[in-house]
Amino acid sequence: MTVGIFTNKAKDPALSYTAEIRRFLTGQGIHVAEGSPANTTDVAFWVVLGGDGTMLRCSHLAAAHGIPLLGINLGTLGFLSDGEMQDGLDSLAKVLKGEYETEKRLMLDICHGDMKNLALNDVFIGATGRLKTFDLYVNSHLLDTLRADGIIVATPTGSTAYSLSAGGPLLMPGGQMMVVTPVCPHSLSTRPLVVGAEDRVRIVTHQACPITVDGEKVGDTAAGGGVSIRKSTHTAAIIKTTEAHLYDVLRKKKLL
């Protein structure tokens, strides 16, 4: 068996914890591959050492090959991680014994012009502090024309991220739905909207707007341009060795 290790070096600058994980795996007779999921696909799973941002970056690469991710949190928030740094070796031992479950997380295809991106958390069209006008379509039907700093379309996984900060609802991680959350809307009647995973969302911008996918800017819309969002055929496979519920994590992170 080969297991991959991907480390956010900003979180483990001396790579001391990475070396500890490597020693544990090789001591179990496991071959270790290190580097990027983009370059190595012949692995049973990836051990991702970092925070949620690191997990997001790896999920885009691993999902195309159906490779599961085991996250060990070295950051501040760890909704996608299986455990904290001190629990890492225990998590690995459970996985090697087969004592785990793999959660399939909804991902989104984001299409704008000739570009296509994959999102595990969300897409944000707009820029904070700059009021814009948007036409919001669901399944080709115009739902609303609204003014706001921007609009977030998030998966259940992403509902605990930017959407939550903007007043959006929490969705259970395994849910098949999306939440559309306006950011700083100009009208008090504008509220977040939950739609089904099979629905198609299109956002047309009256002015040029940046497009941000999972925290990374990927392009801009032109005035009158649009962004289409739909459920992807890819899913993120997240390994879990504990039965911790989302509510437990939220309380631990003091978000409830």
Active site residues: 52
Pairing status of strand 132-138 against strand 150-154: unpaired
For the CA atoms of 104, 120, 82, 46, the dihedral, rounded to the nearest 10 degrees, stands at 80
- The CA-based angle 66-60-158, given to 5 degrees, is 110
Q: How far is CA 120 from CA 27, 76, 105, 147, 254, in A?
A: 33, 19, 8, 26, 23
The residues near 177 (Cβ < 8 Å, ≥ 6 apart) are: 156, 171, 194, 195, 196, 197
Rounded CA separation 218/146 (Å): 23
To the nearest 10°, the Cα dihedral for 92, 97, 99, 101?
A: 70
Tokens, residue 115: 């570009």
What does R_g of the chain's alpha carbons equal in angstroms? 19
For residue 67 the two structure tokens come to: 């490779």
